[in-house]
Amino acid sequence: MTARMLDGTAIAAAIRESLRPEVEAFTRRAGRPPGLGIVLVGHNPASEIYVSGKQKAGTEAGLWVDVHRLPPTASVQDVLALVERLNRSDRHDGILVQDPLPDAMGSDAARRVVDAIDPRKDVDGFHPISVGRLVQNRPTLVPCTPSGVIELLDHAKVAISGAHAVVIGRSDIVGKPMALLMLHRHATVTICHSRTRNLGAVAATADILVAAIGRPAFVTQDLVKPGATVVDVGINRLTSRDDVERLFGRASPRLAAFERRGSLVVGDVHPAVAEVAGALTPVPGGVGPMTIAMLLRNTLKAARGEVTSNE
Ligand code: NDP
């Protein structure tokens, strides 16, 4: 069997296109475009790439994307003061602080900063109020990566209701909200993590297997039930030629791509899984573009005031 590839790039492009008239209508009505404030602290190369991708996609969709750069020496207080300013702004409908913050800010910095964001502007969906609403299945701003996965599955007509969904990973930003969204869509959900016993056997019972681990090629063929839908959330950068050759083989175009760039982005799912799975999301070009499309949708939702603080 060769898995059907679920083309996140194409689906995300269609979603972004469908948002454009809605963004235009908002802009006409409000006399200004929906505004997204992005805070980027330091010079993390991956963060730079993510932020420029969000800025480009947002601008193309008609949003006003306002990127605030702070130096790596900035303090948590500097970030909190900026968030406070964006909270009060009537031009910024959404606020996003790009993860990770510099280590020097301390281990609780990200939490303090997220807690400071006005929940009505919490387009990442990480604020405790957003999370609480998600748990209760109330209208809220939902984290972009897991909502992008649901959207991808819906577009690909993968039935979620009644399916056994296994989510590997329990982070606050991907694994946990992913499991909740699957549950709200009536899947039977199992969450696996680093302490799970017999993870391979559990994963192999999944109709829908979501890998959000951060380990290249962790999900091998034996973890996948034949015909299952496999969603690869992982984004891992390989910098060793040997690793790339071991995964993809000597003749693969991926090896040639590695030779050109000196690194290669791969997911958490081994390429050979494509021979077993019924459907599979590629990396790149699967969940990543969907995440950005959902961020734009959340910003529009926030601009329209669809999420109020006392709902
Ligand atoms: P975290 O590191 O926060 O979480 C990883 C999870 O994987 C943890 O729950 C951890 O378990 C689990 N895990 C790690 N090793 C193992 C193992 N050997 N066996 C079983 N479980 C394991 O990562 P994130 O959730 O933030 O991200 C996951 C991946 O998704 C990363 O590659 C990240 O880059 C990518 N990502 C992609 C996005 C996209 O847009 N496509 C957006 C966000 C993330 P435990 O809790 O027990 O430690």
Question: What is the pLDDT averaged over residues 143-156?
Answer: 98
Contact predicate 167/210, CB 8 Å: yes
Question: What is the pLDDT averaged over residues 47-58?
Answer: 96
Question: What is the pLDDT averaged over residues 174-185?
Answer: 98
User: DSSP string covering 187-213, please?
Assistant: -EEEEE-TT-TTHHHHHTT-SEEEE-S
Contacts 24+ apart (CB under 8 A), 79-83: 79/39, 79/41, 79/105, 79/109, 79/113, 80/112, 80/113, 80/116, 82/39, 83/39, 83/113, 83/116, 83/117
Residue 311 has pLDDT above 60, yes or no: no
What residues contact 91, with CB distance under 8 A and at least 6 apart? 32, 35, 64, 66
Instruction: Based on the residue annotation, tell me whether 98 is a catalytic residue of this protein.
Output: yes
Helix H, strand E, coil C: the string for 82-94 is: HHHHHHHCCCCCE
Which of ligand 1's atoms lies nearest the C-alpha of 290? 40
Residue 310 has pLDDT above 70, yes or no: no
Cα 37 to ligand 1 centre (Å): 26
User: DSSP string covering 228-295, please?
Assistant: -EEEE---EEE--HHHHHHHH-TT-HHHHHHHHHS-EEE-SB-GGGGGT-SEE--SSSSHHHHHHHHH
pTM above 0.85, yes or no: yes
- Residue 194 binned pLDDT confidence (cut-offs 50, 70, 90): very high
Task: Identify the residues whose C-beta falls under 6 Å from ligand 1.
Answer: 145, 168-171, 173-175, 192-195, 199, 212-215, 233-236, 287-288, 291
> For residue 227, how far is the Cα from the chain centroid?
25
- Residue 309 binned pLDDT confidence (cut-offs 50, 70, 90): low
pLDDT digits (tens, 9 = 90+) for 104-139: 999 999 999 999 999 999 999 999 999 999 999 999
Question: What is the pLDDT averaged over residues 219-230?
Answer: 98
Neighbours of 255 (CB within 10 A): 17
Cα 246 to ligand 1 centre (Å): 22
pLDDT digits (tens, 9 = 90+) for 229-253: 999 999 999 999 999 999 999 999 9
Question: What is the pLDDT averaged over residues 14-37?
Answer: 98
- Residue 307 binned pLDDT confidence (cut-offs 50, 70, 90): confident
